[in-house]
Amino acid sequence: MKNIVVVGSQWGDEGKGKIVDWLSEQADIVIRFQGGHNAGHTLVIDGVTYKLRLLPSGIVRKNKISVIGNGVVVDPWALIDEIKEIKLKGVQIGVENLIISESANLILPFHREMDEIREDAAGKSKIGTTRRGIGPAYEDKVGRRSIRVMDLRSEKNLDQRLESVLIHHNAIRKGLGKKIFEKEKLKKDLLKIAPEILKYSQPVWLKIDQFKRKKKKILFEGAQGILLDVDHGTYPFVTSSNTVASSAATGTGCGPNSINYVLGITKAYTTRVGEGPFPTELDDHIGELLGTRGNEFGTVTSRKRRCGWFDGVLVRQTIKISGIDGIALTKLDVLDELDEIKMCIKYELDGKEIDYFPAAVEDQLMIKPIYQNFPGWKTQTNGIKNIEELPENAKNYIYAIEDFVGAKISSVSTSPEREDTILIENPFEI
């Protein structure tokens, strides 16, 4: 049985929701392995729109088991609200189809406040976070003072863990002139919600081993994009987790040999939300056109996305870093009206040509893209399901991307609708 990891090959927002939904229909288990409720996946099934932030995409399908792995940071209140919201749309959610790792770390109210305090104080140096406490929660995890799902089982243990984490956070809050957090109030709130979280709690590593023994098909669902990876992205303008495919193993508790195929979701142009370098960004009418036709607004924050030409150098680099076997090209139809389309194939830095994205943010902000130009196709591709029916110029652009980035294109999306997909190869059947 194939186990597949789905990752974003750019800065996120590549259209993973549609592809993951299509794959989740074939999978038995769908697992989130990193990030928090800062990620947003939009699914449209039978005319009903689901906006998922923390729940895996498999949750909206019957007879699928959805898993939140140990690599995810969980805001327990946000999770309960999301479960209620999805249930109101007729989706059944219970212990039989949702599992939360007992080792998952919790996002608490002081994490959200610290996120906001830092962003507001940063001015022009702000990162552009979603202000949901993700980064501060991961900091506490690495600092070994975090509250985990399993800590909710015992009031005595929770009291001790809160004592430890609040010593740290209240010292910082005092220094910033902010009101300190009261342990007893927070403990009471956590104990009140604990039963709702603990009923889903299980050792995920053990469950995955059982799934593998039963030959279940597992889909590992990534959030954000590789260029937001804390090690391999545009640091410091990144998220606080590892978004590369290999973190599917550490974020769930299975070995890398559990992964059989890595699918990179890749937009036919480039977008970015928040601050940070963006070599091919367009601040002109074409950038506006891409944003309008592509409906480029964040699922979670509704923030307008920055838009630009396809950056082949970046995608080629993320394919190598994440071991991507094939790419699902999305939003091809957004380019239908353009006379000319460009793809970045090199950069210029300090008068010299380079063929990779440099690690230093100073260099990332200085590089200038070098483009290869392609004639547009000036006709509608929306809804096409067979590659032979695409305009010749569209096919040429697709094949040029495939050749340049060095990974096979497994599918091409020609509209937001799940059915409007040109399937070249099915990762579950290779």
Catalytic residue numbers, as ranges: 13, 41
Which tokens sit at 110?
Answer: 């002081």
Rounded to an integer, what distance in angstroms lies between the CA atom of residue 230 and that of residue 46?
Answer: 37
Q: Give me the half-sphere count of Cα atoms (radius 13 Å) on the Cβ side of residue 312.
A: 23
Cα dihedral value 71, 77, 78, 80, nearest 10: 90
Rounded to an integer, what distance in angstroms lies between the CA atom of residue 409 and that of residue 306?
Answer: 25
The most distant pair of C-alpha atoms in the chain lies apart, rounded to whole Å, by 68
Specify the residue for token string 């506006």.
Answer: 288
Backbone angles phi, psi at 359, to 5 degrees: -80, -30
Query: Closest by alpha carbon to 45, among 35, 29, 26, 58?
Result: 58
Rounded to an integer, what distance in angstroms lies between the CA atom of residue 330 and that of residue 113?
Answer: 36
Q: Indicate the DSSP class of residue 181.
A: P
Which tokens sit at 94?
Answer: 């219970």
* Residues 300/13, Cβ–Cβ less than 8 Å: no
* Residues 118/88, Cβ–Cβ less than 8 Å: no
* Residues 7/264, Cβ–Cβ less than 8 Å: yes
What's the distance, CA 104 to chain centroid? 17
